[in-house]
């Protein structure tokens, strides 16, 4: 198949590109706007493969998207491009509305135009796979059952609200226009090449440098964690075998509190690269919670596991070890980012409440 993949230089998107080129014969057309969190380095060997083409374009640019469909004539769309950082959405929601809502609408319209021009055989196999988040479902409390494909939507942040809006658009284009769309929702991903504003790389790099490790509230907020390479494998299975109109909840069955995650990172680093000043848990600092901080997310992936014959290969401990070892082995990449300024402040601890915390 020829896959049109948006956001393929981002964290999850690049993992999907790498998986496709290593484990399938599919051709990949990678459309990415190349924002601050995109990295061509994350494509690794894909940049040298004839089955991969990188198109630098904005999914909200209708003319550019129509040109991409017309030029490359894809069989499947995997839509991963999105603004995804909750703290950034609180400080500046307009970019999230533009990319996540307007961008998804623009891509859907280009895909609909493309789909209408296909013959009956190709229409039967065309898919528009939209990749979303568990944050659209809101928050869970102690004892609440995990999210499933039928959990009502209750987004709490500008980020999750824009992702919920894009999910609704995708389903509406299926029911109104007959576009064969699929939605998948996932939990927190982690792994190699994640931009160092996210929890696990931020804490890892701060701990390596002896900086404070900020944790929101008392650290009891809980997330379900999925190793990004496991997620990439599941996404490709959805694109290949998913049924139009269906939703797939993809999770790793690895819930952890934020404080547990931070302590696990400290413990792994203490074993791999001991700090002469002592155990790194000494660096943990509890800071004022962010606005609208959801307490708990967790996914029940039972239906997806059965439908796709897939379960996440990595548990949290093995995935975290691979992730930290990757950051230790790729200092050049993240040190360059740590030295650069973005959003008016440096990565890591920032003044007052602007710092990214766990």
Helix H or strand E segment including 186 = strand 181-186
Report whether pLDDT(347) > 60: no
Residue whose C-alpha is closest to residue 221's, from 157, 156, 281, 142 = 142
Half-sphere exposure (Cβ direction) of 208: Cα atoms closer than 13 Å? 20
For the chain, the 3-state helix, strand and coil shares in percent, each to the nearest 5, are: 45, 15, 35
For the entire predicted model, the pTM comes to: 0.93
Q: Report the distance separating Cα 115 and Cα 208, nearest Å.
A: 50
Report whether pLDDT(357) > 50: no
Report whether pLDDT(23) > 60: yes
The total of other beta-carbon atoms located within 10 Å of residue 314's CB is 20
Give the pLDDT band of residue 354 (cuts 50, 70, 90): very low
Report whether pLDDT(179) > 80: yes
Which single residue is written with the structure tokens 């307009």?
Answer: 94
**Which candidate in 134, 197, 230, 294 is catalytic?**
134
Give the pLDDT band of residue 290 (cuts 50, 70, 90): confident
Q: According to CATH, what is the number of the domain 199-222+255-296+316-354? A: 3.90.25.10
Q: Report the distance separating Cα 16 and Cα 131, nearest Å.
A: 12
The separation between CA 352 and the C-alpha centre of its own chain, rounded to angstroms, equals 28
Quick one: pLDDT at residue 10? Answer: 97
- Mean confidence (pLDDT) of the chain: 94
Residues in the chain: 358
Quick one: pLDDT at residue 343? Answer: 42
Alpha helix stretches (DSSP H) within 194-274:
199-208, 228-241, 258-272
**Which residues, listed in sequence order, are joined to residue 356 by a DSSP beta bridge?**
none
Report whether pLDDT(355) > 50: no
Domains of the chain, by residue range, sit at 2-191+227-250, 199-222+255-296+316-354
Report whether pLDDT(356) > 60: no
Hey, is 317 helix, strand or coil? helix
The average pLDDT across 35-45 equals 95
Say which CATH topology domain 2-191+227-250 has. Answer: Rossmann fold (3.40.50)
Which is it for strands 52-56 and 27-32: parallel, antiparallel or unpaired? Answer: parallel
The average pLDDT across 121-128 equals 98
The average pLDDT across 252-278 equals 97
Task: Give catalytic status of residue 216 as yes or no.
Answer: no
CATH fold match for the domains 2-191+227-250 and 199-222+255-296+316-354: no
**Angle at Cα 74 formed by Cα 72 and Cα 77, nearest 5°?**
125
Report whether pLDDT(353) > 70: no
**Which candidate in 159, 216, 248, 327 is catalytic?**
159
**Which candidate in 83, 135, 224, 229 is catalytic?**
135
Task: Give catalytic status of residue 159 as yes or no.
Answer: yes
Please state, for a pLDDT cut of 90, what percent of the chain lies above it.
Answer: 90
Report whether pLDDT(34) > 90: yes
Quick one: pLDDT at residue 291? Answer: 85
Report whether pLDDT(340) > 90: no
Give the pLDDT band of residue 338 (cuts 50, 70, 90): confident
For the segment 198-252, what is each residue's pLDDT rounded down to a tens digit?
A: 999 999 999 999 999 999 999 999 999 999 999 999 999 999 999 999 999 999 9
For the segment 72-103, what is each residue's pLDDT rounded down to a tens digit?
A: 999 999 999 999 989 899 999 999 999 999 99
Report whether pLDDT(127) > 50: yes
Judge whether 149 and 303 are in contact, CB under 8 Å.
yes
Give the pLDDT band of residue 121 (cuts 50, 70, 90): very high
Judge whether 242 and 78 are in contact, CB under 8 Å.
no
Please state, for a pLDDT cut of 70, what percent of the chain lies above it.
Answer: 95
Quick one: pLDDT at residue 292? Answer: 79
Helix pair angle (158-177, 104-116), 10° resolution: 20
The separation between CA 50 and the C-alpha centre of its own chain, rounded to angstroms, equals 26
For the segment 161-175, what is each residue's pLDDT rounded down to a tens digit?
A: 999 999 999 999 999
């Amino acid at each position: 198949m020829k896959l049109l993949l948006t956001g393929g230089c981002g964290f999850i998107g690049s993992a999907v590109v790498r998986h496709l080129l290593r484990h399938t014969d599919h051709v990949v057309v990678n459309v990415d706007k190349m924002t601050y969190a995109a990295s061509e380095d994350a494509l690794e060997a894909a940049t040298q493969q004839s089955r991969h083409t990188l198109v630098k374009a904005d999914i909200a640019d209708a003319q550019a998207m129509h040109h991409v469909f017309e030029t490359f004539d894809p069989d499947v769309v995997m839509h991963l491009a999105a603004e995804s950082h909750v703290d950034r959405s609180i400080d500046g929601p307009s970019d999230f509305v533009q990319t996540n809502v307007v961008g998804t609408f623009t891509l859907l319209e280009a895909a609909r135009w493309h789909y209408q021009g296909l013959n009956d055989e190709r229409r039967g196999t065309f898919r528009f796979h939209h990749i979303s988040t568990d944050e659209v479902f809101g928050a869970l409390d102690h004892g609440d059952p995990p999210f499933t494909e039928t959990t009502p939507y209750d987004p709490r942040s500008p980020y999750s609200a824009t992702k919920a809006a894009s999910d609704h658009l995708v389903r509406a284009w299926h029911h109104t226009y007959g576009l064969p769309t699929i939605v998948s929702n996932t939990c927190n991903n982690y792994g190699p090449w994640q931009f160092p504003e996210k929890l696990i790389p931020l804490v890892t790099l701060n701990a390596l440098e002896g900086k404070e490790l900020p944790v929101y509230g008392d650290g009891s907020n809980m997330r379900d964690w999925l190793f990004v390479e496991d997620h990439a494998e599941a996404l490709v299975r959805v694109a290949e075998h998913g049924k139009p109109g269906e939703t797939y909840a993809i999770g790793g069955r690895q819930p952890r509190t934020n404080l547990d995650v931070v302590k696990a990172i400290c413990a792994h680093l203490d074993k791999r690269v001991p700090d002469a000043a002592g155990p790194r848990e000494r660096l943990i600092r509890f800071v004022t919670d962010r606005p609208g901080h959801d307490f708990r997310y967790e996914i029940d992936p039972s239906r997806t596991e059965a439908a796709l014959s897939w379960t996440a290969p990595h548990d949290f401990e093995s995935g975290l070890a691979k992730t930290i070892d990757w950051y230790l082995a790729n200092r050049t990449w993240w040190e360059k980012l740590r030295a650069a300024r973005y959003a008016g402040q440096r990565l890591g601890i920032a003044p007052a409440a602007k710092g990214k915390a766990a």
